[in-house]
Amino acid sequence: MDPPSERPGRGRFITLEGGEGAGKSTQVHILAGALRRRGLSVVTTREPGGAPAAEEIRALLVGGAVHRWSAMTETLLHYAARREHLDATILPMLAAGAWVICDRFADSTTAYQGYGHGLGRDAVRALHDLVVGAIRPDLTLILDIPVEEGLARACRRASDRVGAAGSEDRYERMDRAFHERVRHGFLAIAEGEPERCIVVDANRPPDRVAAELERCVLARLTRDAP
């Protein structure tokens, strides 16, 4: 099987990454609003999920017992969801000229399964090359926050949704050492790909983080925007 080809179209693909409690979901929507006010067509999405079949796989990954999957099984599930997401949502929107902002993408699999679960970057990369191929974000914004603060934020968020159906806290319940490895993984990814990745200090008020994210996007991506 040949790897999937580079995505067509003139849209832009932006991903927000980071550990638990970094504020990605909030910042995705703030950034989308800022870009829409500049007249851009913007689509927001998330991983795992972002397409009907991918959302079904998401339910297997974000809930239930912490150790319900092996590292390899978990990685395979993420990439199955990712391929559905690409085919159903990301690639069609980019081809139509939209700017796609995604809450997590492939870097999360490298950080969580490759580093956090110890599967290793080489194993994740081999699967990535098969399933995703040359498709890559135009810009990845990594929201960095100390693990202790991020987990405290996640805990507060969880307490706010007590009683809600379908708890999605499986990763949050993993031990602190796991989350430290995840943070290290994200920083290693950023160090290895500075042309694509920008690390942003997320341990600040949301409005300050949002302002920096907008500046980063405008500086990197708008000079040749359609």
Tens digit of each residue's pLDDT (9 = 90 or more) over 136-177: 999 999 999 999 999 999 888 766 665 554 579 999 999 999
pLDDT of 46 > 60? The answer is yes
Portion of the chain with pLDDT greater than 70, in percent: 90
Would you say residue 201 has pLDDT above 50?
yes
Residue 7: what pLDDT? 44
pLDDT at residue 10 in the model:
73
Domain 12-219 class in CATH: alpha beta
Residues of the chain with pLDDT > 90, as a percent, come to 86
What confidence score (pLDDT) does residue 5 get? Answer: 41
CA atoms of 19 and 185, how far apart (whole Å): 10
| Cut 0.95: pTM above it | no
Q: Kindly list the domain boundaries of the chain, sorted by start residue.
A: 12-219
Write out pLDDT tens, residues 53-99.
999 999 999 999 999 999 999 999 999 999 999 999 999 999 999 99
If you average pLDDT over residues 214-222, what whole number do you get?
93
| Interaxial angle between packed helices 206-221 and 24-37, expressed in degrees from 0 to 180 and rounded to the nearest 10 | 50
Cα–Cα distance measured from residue 187 to residue 111, given in angstroms and rounded to the nearest whole number: 9
Tens digit of each residue's pLDDT (9 = 90 or more) over 1-20 = 333 444 444 799 999 999 99
Segment 21-27 mean pLDDT: 96
| pLDDT bracket for residue 35 (50, 70, 90) | very high
Angle at 88 between CA 84 and CA 89, to 5 degrees: 110
Terminal CA-CA length for the chain = 33
Residue 107 neighbours by CB under 8 Å, 6+ apart: 15, 17, 140, 142, 186, 189, 197
Q: In whole angstroms, what is the distance from residue 165 CA to residue 148 CA?
A: 26
- What crossing angle do the helices spanning 176-192 and 147-160 adopt, rounded to 10°? 120
